Amino acid sequence: MAALLFVPSSGYPSVSLSGTDLVIHAVLFGIWSFLTTQGFFKQAYWPVLRFYRGFAVLMIGVLWAVALEAVQGFLLWERSAGLEDYVADIVGVLLGMVIFERLVRVSRR
């Protein structure tokens, strides 16, 4: 995920739709969040992670988003970071968690 976010924007095909970058951020973080939530749900070694998986994934996701956006904004000259990128990352984290929790509830019925 970090490698995809660090590739210079000239390395991607150009798309004329505005906001495509934000959708890509949200999708990447949504996939990460879904898989991480699933991993915390299935693991049995630390029961606290299974019980508080939503909080743990949200905190890790926020820290991960801040770290990646900081690297994009301060260390990579070809990329930029903005508040809208942070928001898209966090929305992706929340969507991934919500989708996983919905699937768990549906499978329990």
Q: Where are the domains of the chain?
A: 20-108
Q: What angle do CA 48, 66, 53 make, to 5 degrees?
A: 15
Whether the model clears a pTM of 0.85, i.e. scores above it, the answer is no
**Per-residue pLDDT tens digits for 37-93:** 999 999 878 888 888 999 999 999 999 999 888 887 777 566 666 788 889 999 999
Q: What element of type H or E holds 32?
A: helix 20-42
Confidence of residue 4 (pLDDT cuts 50, 70, 90): low
